[in-house]
Chains A and B, each alone.
Chain A
Amino acid sequence: MNLRRPATQCLLLLALAATGSAVAAELNVFAAASLSDALQVLAATYQKATGDTVHLNLAASSTLARQIKAGAPADLFFSADEAKMDDLARAGLIVPATRRSLLGNTLVIVVATDSALALKSAADLTGPLVRRVAIAEPATVPAGIYARDYLQKRGWWTAVLAKAVSTENVRGALAAVESGNADAGIVYKTDALISRTVRVAYEIPAADGPRISYPVALVKDARNPAGAARFLTLLTSAEGRAVFASYGFVPQP
C-alpha cells in the first residue's frame, strides 16, 4: 500500500473513522497560536468526517507546554519550536514514536497597511522612525525566540530590545501592529497573510533566518489516543498539507 497516494490516504482515513468508536468522542488539541486558522479548517473537516468534537487550545507553545506538564488534558501537542517538544519528551509526556516535524515558517517584519515606514532590512528597526517593535515574549515564546536569535546573530538585538513590547503570543504581536500601538512587529509570514490591516515590510531570508520547525506528537496519557492518531493522520495527509500550504506554511520534507 503506497501511503503517499491521496486515494490511499483517504481510504485509510475513512477506514480508521469506521473502526473508531460509534460514540462521538472529544479531542483536545494543544497547538501554537500561529496555527489557528489552518487548524480550524482541518478541525472542521475532521469533525464532519468522524463526528468527534475537536477542542483547539491555541496559545504560545511555552504556555501549552507548561499546561501539559501541570496535567492539562491534551491528546495532541503541536508546537512552534523543537525546544518545547524536547522539553516534554525529556519529561516523558509524549509518545516519541509519533513525533513528526511537519511544517516550517518564515519570519517577517510587518507594519500597518497605512504606515509610512519603508523598511529595507531588519536593521531599520533600530532607526529612530521605529519607536516600538512588537515581538512575542523572547524568553519563552518560539516566535520571540526565533526573532531574538536572528537579531542577536546580526547584532541588532540590544537596540531592538530597548524598544520592544513583548506579547504573550505571536498573535498578540500582530494585534499590536494592527492597532497602531506598535510601529512594527516581528511575526510569522503566515500571521501576516491572514491579516488585512498589516503588510509585510521585510521578509527575513531563509538563508539568514532561524530554522523554524513545527513538531507534532501524541501526548502520552491522552484520553483519546485513537482520535489523536486519526487527527494526526489528517494533518500529515495530502489534504492537510494542502491546507497548511494555502496559509503560507512551508512543508518539511
Chain B
Amino acid sequence: MSSDLWQVTWFTTWVAVTGTLVILPPGLALAWLLARRQWPGKSLVETLVALPLVIPPVATGLILLHLFGRRGLLGHWLEHTLGIEVVFTWKAVVIATAVMSFPLLVRTARVAFENVSPRVEHVARTLGAGPWRVFWTITLPLARPGVIAGAVLAFARALGEFGATVMVAGFIPGKTETLSLSIYHSVELGRDGEAAAFLAVSVALAFVAVWCSERLLRRTAA
C-alpha cells in the first residue's frame, strides 16, 4: 500500500495546525494562571502539565487509548451520547499531537507572561481596564514573541509526533497516516526510497516552521 506523499504531507500539516489551535486557548489560560496566581495544588498542576514531556510518548498514547477507546471513560460517552468516534480516526491524531505539544506551549508562554511587568498591568487597571481587557491589550501583546515561540514549538512537536499517535490512532493509510508514521511504515516494508522521500519532506517542513518563527520573533522585537 503506497501512500501519496502530498496527501500525507497535507494531512500532517493540517493536523499539526489544528492541534496547535486547539491547545492555544487552554494553554495560554493555564500559562497565565501559572504565571500570575497562586493556589493550593499548583505544584501538582505544574507536574501534570509537564508529564507528557518526560514519560515515554507511547505511555501517553496508551493512557489516551484507555481514555478515548470505545470502552474508555471519555470514549464511551463520546460515542454513545454524541456519536463521535475518536480512536483510529483523524480526531485521535489531533488529540495525540495536542496532548504532546501542550506542555511546550504552556512552559514557553508562562515564561513570556512572567516577563511582563505586573506593574504595567496594574497601571492599566487604574486607567479603567478590567482584567480581561488588560490581558488582551497589554499582557498578550507584550508577551507576543514568547507566545509565538511557544506556539511554533508546539506546532513543530505536533509535526513530528509518533509514539502517542501510533498507539491511539494506528496506521490507517489515508485516514491517520502522518509523515512520521509513513517513515516508520516504509522502513518496515523495506522501501528505503519512499522512506527517504517522507524524511526529506519532514525535515523541510520543520525547517520552514522554525525559520518563519525566527523571522516573526525578530520582527516583533524590532
B2 to chain A: closest residue by CB: A139
Stretch from A45-53, A164-172, A217-225 forming part of the interface with B: A164-172
Complex CA distance for A175 and B169, rounded to whole angstroms? 14
Contacts of B171 in A (CB 8 A): 137, 166
In Å, the complex CA distance between A167 and B189 comes to 14
CA distance A132 to B171 in the complex (A): 13
Q: A165-B172, A179-B71 are in contact. Are A63 and B188 (CB under 8 A)?
A: yes
Task: State whether A132 and B188 are in contact (beta carbons under 8 Å apart), knowing that A164-B172, A179-B70 are contacts in the complex.
Answer: no
User: Which of A131, A138, A139, A167 has most B Cβ within 10 Å?
Assistant: A139
B188–A180 touching, CB < 8 Å: no
| A101: interface (CB < 8 Å) | no
Contact of A181 among B1, B87, B189 (CB under 8 A): B87
Contacts of B189 in A (CB 8 A): 139-140
Contact with A along B64-88 (1 / 0, CB 8 A): 0100011100000000000001011
B193 interfacial contact with A, CB 8 Å: no
Total inter-chain residue pairs, C-beta < 8 Å: 35
CB distance from B162 to the nearest CB of A (A): 13
Given A131, A137, A164, A179, which contacts B188 in the complex, CB threshold below 8 Å? A137
**Beyond A137-B188, A181-B69, A181-B70, 7 extra complex contacts between A and B, CB < 8 Å:** A63-B188, A132-B88, A137-B171, A166-B171, A180-B69, A181-B71, A182-B88
Residues from 194 to 209 in A contacting B, C-beta threshold 8 Å: none
- 9 shortest interchain CB distances as A-B pairs: A180-B70, A180-B71, A181-B87, A165-B88, A181-B69, A165-B170, A179-B69, A181-B70, A139-B189
The 21 listed contacts between A and B (C-beta, < 8 Å) are A62-B188, A63-B188, A131-B85, A137-B171, A137-B188, A138-B1, A139-B189, A140-B188, A140-B189, A164-B172, A165-B88, A165-B172, A166-B170, A179-B70, A179-B71, A180-B70, A180-B71, A181-B65, A181-B69, A181-B70, A181-B87
Interface residues of B in 21-54 (CB under 8 A from A): none
Contact assessment for B69 and A66 in the assembled complex, using a CB-CB cutoff below 8 Å = no
Which of A66, A137, A181 is B190 in contact with, Cβ under 8 Å? A66
- Enumerate chain A residues within 8 angstroms of B70, measured Cβ to Cβ: 179-181
Interface size on B, residues (CB 8 A): 14
Contacts from A to B (Cβ < 8 Å): 62-63, 66, 131-132, 137-140, 164-167, 179-182
Residues of A within 8 A of B190 (CB): 66
Cα of A131 to Cα of B69 in the assembled complex, Å: 14
**Cα–Cα, bound, A179→B170 (Å):** 14
State A164–B171 Cα separation when bound (angstroms). 10
Taken together as a complex, chains A and B put the C-alpha atoms of A131 and B188 apart, in Å, by 27
Q: Which residue of B lies closest to A114 (CB)?
A: B71
CA distance A57 to B188 in the complex (A): 17
0/1 string, B195-217, CB within 8 A of A gives 1: 00000000000000000000000
**In the complex, which residue of chain B has the Cβ closest to the Cβ of A182?**
B88
A137 CB contacts on chain B under 8 angstroms = 171, 188
Complex-state Cα separation, A167 to B169, whole angstroms? 10
> In whole angstroms, how far apart are the Cα atoms of A229 and B88 in the complex?
43
- The answer to whether A139 touches B1, judged by C-beta atoms less than 8 angstroms apart, is yes
- For A179, list chain B residues within 8 Å (CB): 65, 69-71
CB-based nearest A residue for B66: A179
Interface 1/0 per residue, B81-116 and A, CB below 8 Å: 000010110000000000000000000000000000
